Amino acid sequence: DKDEHKQLYSDNVISNTIISIITKYVDGATLYECDGVYKCEIEKSTRVEIISDESIYFNILKIIDLIKTRLNQESVMLEIQESNIMFA
């Protein structure tokens, strides 16, 4: 939480919140629970991977905005990379 500087929600609530947002805008994603470091403090983080092309970038930005708002986050990192992925 950007105001309290600590995690206010359980990992399960955070994951369910993120999933409920993501599923409104994309067909699928992979979530990882991990540790992050911010301002020299270790904190729980959730990494979300969405495989797509540039046609859904607007949806991804909407997802980020909603996650920031609902979980009261100062920022959400977005990494965009070229990839050759195929689901078979």
pTM attached to this predicted model: 0.83
In the 8-state DSSP scheme, what is residue 24? T
C-alpha distance from residue 6 to each of 13, 30, 49 (Å): 15, 24, 24
| For residues 53-76, average pLDDT | 92
Residue 52, both tokens = 């797509």
Place 79 in a pLDDT band, splitting at 50, 70 and 90: confident
Query: 3-class DSSP state for residue 22?
Result: helix
User: In the predicted model, is pLDDT for residue 51 greater than 90?
Assistant: no
Our measurement of the distance from residue 40's CA atom to the centroid of its chain's CA atoms, rounded to an integer in Å, reads: 21
